[in-house]
Amino acid sequence: MMRTDSSRRAGESPNSASLWDTPMDIRQYLKEKKMLVDGWLSDCLPAPEQYSEKLFEAMRYSLLAGGKRLRPILMLATAELFSDGQDPLLKNFACAIECIHTYSLIHDDLPAMDDDDLRRGRPTCHIQFSEDIAILAGDALLTLAFELMSRPLSSERAPLQIRALNEIATRAGCLGMVGGQTADVISENGAGEEELVNFIHTRKTAALISAPIIAGAILAGATDRELRGMSEFGRRIGLAFQIIDDLLEIHSDAATLGKSVDSDLRNEKITYPGVFGEDKARSVAHKEVGEAFSYLGPYGDRASALAGIARFFLDRVN
Amino acid sequence: MMRTDSSRRAGESPNSASLWDTPMDIRQYLKEKKMLVDGWLSDCLPAPEQYSEKLFEAMRYSLLAGGKRLRPILMLATAELFSDGQDPLLKNFACAIECIHTYSLIHDDLPAMDDDDLRRGRPTCHIQFSEDIAILAGDALLTLAFELMSRPLSSERAPLQIRALNEIATRAGCLGMVGGQTADVISENGAGEEELVNFIHTRKTAALISAPIIAGAILAGATDRELRGMSEFGRRIGLAFQIIDDLLEIHSDAATLGKSVDSDLRNEKITYPGVFGEDKARSVAHKEVGEAFSYLGPYGDRASALAGIARFFLDRVN
């Protein structure tokens, strides 16, 4: 179930070596946190209104389609690193980051974008409903994310709350995820070069992996120095995660992956395996995770959940 | 230039009568504030990045297309009612509300929605660029709005900042603007009834007219009682504004209006004139503005800018 070999990876610093071998049952951890987050997500949607019921139905359909909840779980695991993780703000922030992730999937799947029919084993939002409802459901989920994060709790927490919200907004916007997605759709059929593939995936994927990590750390009271380390940790596991996704896409069929596997190939997307070849891409993913782990070194065993999550996703292609 | 007759309108309370006759030069006021806001908007967009330049180009194209800047101006005028209006947060909030308005126009114009080719006298975003870039530019402007509103300024202001941001998010989302737009697209070709037309326009238009008013009042330190009054003022002038837009659409050509005039008719949208007839619609607009004015009564002459703005837009169809 767990990886137990202790071979050293490139870029891994000595004091983080034990993170590869933590005795933590990460599958159980992921399962428990996913159940917690799924319950929160089910509660976070407002009650439908009479004339716009279909909007709420589409939001619910996509939000509760059974994702891995990786981003909320990363937020919770990071908050646990710096505090007891019992902050009532975490619930709304965890739901918010999943709303943003879900909106990005709905809009990416649209006919004018990747034109995908299948997502998480079910028809995509615009297939199940219609294109206009899918656009609006995405817009509504993005807006709901910010409504959730800005629910007033206490004056004392407001400064951290606004700062965490700002970090998420920055990473989700034109300098983050939306910018990466733009470069991705523009560059289709273009030359695949190293700088471009890094530009795209640092923004499109890694920005929204590091966002919940940074937000979780801010809410839990991390120092600026700690935040810089966690940001770098997030960026590196985010890149590794994207590379792994690209590799999985090559080797899976739709039934396994739950989405249309030929989408990237059909759209001639620039991918890491496409630019570097499969072997090099796999070793880059290992290297990024190894370097990411060096930022967890100072926390020792307390970081075993975060390390376990990173390793779990890396192991999917080993 | 200004309306000077003092005939009493239905629903207007005695102590607000003078607001119809304020000596303020509202055209000059609107012109000065628009120049101020246009300058802020030009500065609020991040510098373009190499591989995603087109996104920034599309955001700039639509945001700086020369709107009336009604929503930011309403925010500034409301803040001036409760303070000296010199709050540094106002600049970011004013830009944010215009970013949200602009994103909603870009997405509303998409082929899957209203399918409009012309907006503010120029090709719509998806015509000028492409459909995918238009979707992403809308997403990026919505996200930028929340990034702007959440820029940390001072710990002391953070509680009001988070509260104002939350009010805007609520009014822009599934229970506000996006919900109204959903009912609007669903109800096309449906029966036009009074309850539905009110549902749509309370959310689609009035929610985003009252949002900057509420946010401006919160940031300026208004009490809860004052906020309730300003919310009602905003809702009523928002409805009036939508009715006036519907009436203008019937009587204008594209050159005057700067957008495709037959869009609502072509899409068989439910409008106030369509449900009530033109005369009744016009009298409802007058009534709403008259009742809105009753909420400004307590402020006397200090409310003349807000009253002047409301009257200015009403006068467009007189």
Mean pLDDT of A44-60: 97
Query: Which residue in B49, B113, B200 is closest to A135 by CB distance?
Result: B113
- DSSP characters for B119-150? ETTEE-HHHHS-HHHHHHHHHHHHHHHHHHHT
A85 belongs to a structural domain: yes
Question: Smallest Cβ distance to B159: which of A155, A166, A200?
Answer: A155
- Round to the nearest angstrom and report the end-to-end CA distance of chain A: 13
B59/A172 touch (CB, cutoff 8 Å), yes or no: no
The answer to the question of residue A9 being in a domain is: no
Length of chain B counted residue by residue: 318
Residue B126: its pLDDT value, please? Answer: 98
Given this model, what pLDDT does residue A193 score? 85
- Residue B240: name the closest of B297, B311, B296 by CA: B311
Looking at residue B214, its amino acid is I
Write the ipTM.
Answer: 0.91
What tokens appear for B222 in the block?
């208004």
Query: Closest-CA residue in chain B for A164?
Result: B150
Domain tally, chain A: 1
pLDDT at B312 over 60: yes
Name the nearest CA neighbour of B159 among B97, B206, B221, B113.
B221
DSSP annotation of A206 reads I
Record the tokens describing residue A65, joined without a space. Answer: 């389609």
pTM: 0.91
Model pLDDT, residue A2: 33
Per-residue b/e over A28-57, b at no fewer than 16 CB within 10 Å?
A: ebbeebbebbbebbeebbeebbebbebbbe
Distance from CA of B106 to the nearest CA of A (A): 11
The CA distance from A288 to A48, in Å, is: 43
Task: With a cut of 70, say whether residue A176 has pLDDT above it.
Answer: yes
Chain B residues in contact with A112 (beta carbon < 8 A)? 130-132, 135
Q: Which residue has the tokens 């992996």?
A: A209
Q: Is residue A86 part of a domain?
A: yes
Q: If you average pLDDT over residues A294-300, what whole number do you get?
A: 93
Indicate whether B201 belongs to any domain. yes
Chain B closest-CA separation from residue A105 CA (Å): 12
Overall average pLDDT of the A135-146 stretch:
98
User: Which chain B residues touch A108 with a CB distance below 8 Å?
Assistant: none
Residue B6 included in any domain: no
Say which CATH number the domain at B92 has. 1.10.600.10
In DSSP notation, A6-69 reads -PPPTT--GGGGGGGG----HHHHHHHHHHHHHHHHHHHSPPP-GGGHHHHHHHHHHHTS----
Q: Which of A143, A166, A187 sits opposite B142 (nearest CB)?
A: A143
| Confidence category of residue A6, pLDDT binned at 50, 70, 90 | very low
Would B1 be classed as within a structural domain? no
Average pLDDT over residues A276-286: 91
Residue A75 within a domain: yes
Domain residues for B184?
Answer: 24-315
B162 vs B272: which has the higher pLDDT: B162
**What distance in Å separates the CA atoms of residue B313 and residue B17, rounded to the nearest whole number?**
18
Q: B276: distance to nearest CA of chain A, Å? A: 20
Answer whether A2's CB lies under 8 Å from A287's CB: no
Helix, strand, or coil (residue B6): coil
Please give the pLDDT value at position A251. Answer: 77
Which pLDDT belongs to residue B1?
A: 29
Indicate yes or no: CB of A142 within 8 angstroms of CB of B139. yes
Q: What single DSSP character describes residue A303? A: G
